[in-house]
Structure formats: structure tokens, C-alpha cells
Amino acid sequence: MTKAIMSMRVIEAAEYTEKRNCIAYDYVAAVEERGFHAILVPNNTGLAQEYLQLDDVGMVILTGGNCVEGGANSEAEVSRDVYLERDRTERVLLSLAMEKEIPVLGICRGAQFINVYLGGRLTHEIRSHVGTHHSLLSPRKFLHGKIVNSYHNDGIDQRDLAEDLEPLAFSEDGFVEAFRHRSRRVVGILWHPERSSPQTDPGLLDEIMRAELALTVAAKKTEVRGPNGNESHHTCSR
């Protein structure tokens, strides 16, 4: 089975003293339903590059949660919930995936990280994008008018999108909701496609993987589903 290399968020629970690597059940279920074997990369590893040396690596997914270090539009904007070990790990995964021409999908925080890594910037405290749904504006027919969820209050203004990236979709208030690299198979989306709801189309992720990443997506059913949207309540990317 083709492997999907996946990053994880960092959690510090009040009742424990140690940091923990964490990923929502929904991510793994969404990947397996599409015919991929999820391989999880811990943030505290010093061997991130080794995961991309495995056989049959089909894609890299930079997941949501936590904040991205850097990329603020002003010194007054202070990043919260930042873990440098996660940034280091995802920097290795992204740079090596691009070098090896492995498709990359950034989800929410993952999309923010791609933009900052490539020289773009972020706008903080967009409260209107936390815990809601909105429609997409896009020249892509399969994206335009689609309803997506929104769990982030760090966003990407079109003027702050990295030069190597081109926008694919916008929110109604003008923020970039999806982008692709101009010459590599790298895509970022600001919503969480792994979290299903009555308003959203679960097939939208399949369309993005096929149309923008040129991936083969299998229709695979699974009985294992976690509680939707049950990750911790950090606000940069929930």
C-alpha cells in the first residue's frame, strides 16, 4: 500500500508534565479511506529524513494544529502555541519531499507553514474564521461555491502569498483558502477536509488530490472513525 507520511501536532496536557505527539483519528481514517497507509512522524525525532526513504511513499501531509513560528506582519503580532521542534521536523519533510518530487498536501496549519517556508507571511487574529463555515470563490469549477469548515485565526492575505505559490480559492472576505505551487506538486488548503459535517462535501478532498496533486485516490470504506473536530482548542489552527 502506498504510504502517506504525516506530521503531528504537539500537545501539553495540564495533568501531565511531558509534551506529547498527537493526531486526530479523523486524519488517519481519511487517509486510509483513500487507499494510503498512514505513517506518523513524531516531532521530537532527529530522523525525519529517514521517513521519506521508505519504499512506496506516495505523499506527505502536513497536518493542522499549533502555530507557525515567524511570518507575522508586525512585531506586535506574537505567535502563540509555537513548538520549534515541529517547525524543524516539517521543514525537513517539506524540503526533502520537494527535492524528491513527492506530492505534499498542507492542511490548515500545514498550509500556513508551506507559505511561511517559501517566504510568505501570515495575518493573525482573524476571529471570523474560527469555528464556522463559508463558501469558496475560485476559478476552479470543482472548488467554486463549495462550503468548507474553518478552524483557524491565522490566515493568508493574497498579498502575503509566497511568490512560488498561486491561489486556487478565496474566502468571501478575501483570504486565500487554497493554493498550489507554480512548478511542484505542493498544495495547501486552510480548511479541515478530514472533519465531516452535513454542510461539507467529503469528495472535495478527492478532487484536490486528483486534479492538483495528480494522485490516484481509492474509494475505501472503514468502520474506524474518531469524534469529528475533537482536537485541542488552540486557535492558530485547530
Contact 150, 129 (CB under 8 A): yes
Confidence band, pLDDT 50/70/90 cuts, at residue 15: confident
Residue 234 lies in a domain: no
Residue 91 lies in a domain: yes
Residue 238 lies in a domain: no
Percent of the chain with pLDDT over 90: 76
d(CA 238, CA 65) in angstroms, rounded, equals: 5
Residue 116 lies in a domain: yes
Pairing mode of beta strands 186-189, 36-40? unpaired
Residue 121 lies in a domain: yes
Number of domains into which the chain is organized: 1
With H, G, I as helix, E, B as strand and everything else as coil, classify residue 26: helix
Residue 95 lies in a domain: yes
| pLDDT value, residue 234 | 44
User: What average pLDDT score do residues 190-203 get?
Assistant: 92
CA 214 vs CA 29, 101, 105, 206, 210: distances in Å: 21, 12, 12, 10, 5
Contact 63, 112 (CB under 8 A): no
| pLDDT value, residue 125 | 76
Nearest-5° Cα angle at 54, 48 to 55: 160
Residue 229 lies in a domain: no
Contact 213, 101 (CB under 8 A): no
| pLDDT value, residue 237 | 66
CATH number of the structural domain spanning residue 65: 3.40.50.880
Grid coordinates representing 144 are 467554486
Grid coordinates representing 111 are 498550509
Would the pLDDT of 78 be above 60?
Answer: no
| pLDDT value, residue 221 | 54
Domain encompassing residue 93: 2-211
User: What average pLDDT score do residues 38-50 get?
Assistant: 97
d(CA 27, CA 207) in angstroms, rounded, equals: 17
| pLDDT value, residue 197 | 87
User: Which residues have CB under 8 Å from 150's CB, separation 6+?
Assistant: 129, 130, 131, 132, 133, 134, 171, 190, 191
With H, G, I as helix, E, B as strand and everything else as coil, classify residue 105: strand
Residue 227 lies in a domain: no
Across 15-24, 90-99, 139-148, 221-230, least confident range: 221-230
Would the pLDDT of 224 be above 80?
Answer: no
Query: Full-prediction pTM beyond 0.75?
Result: yes
Quick: pLDDT tens for 109-138.
Answer: 999 999 999 999 999 878 778 789 999 999
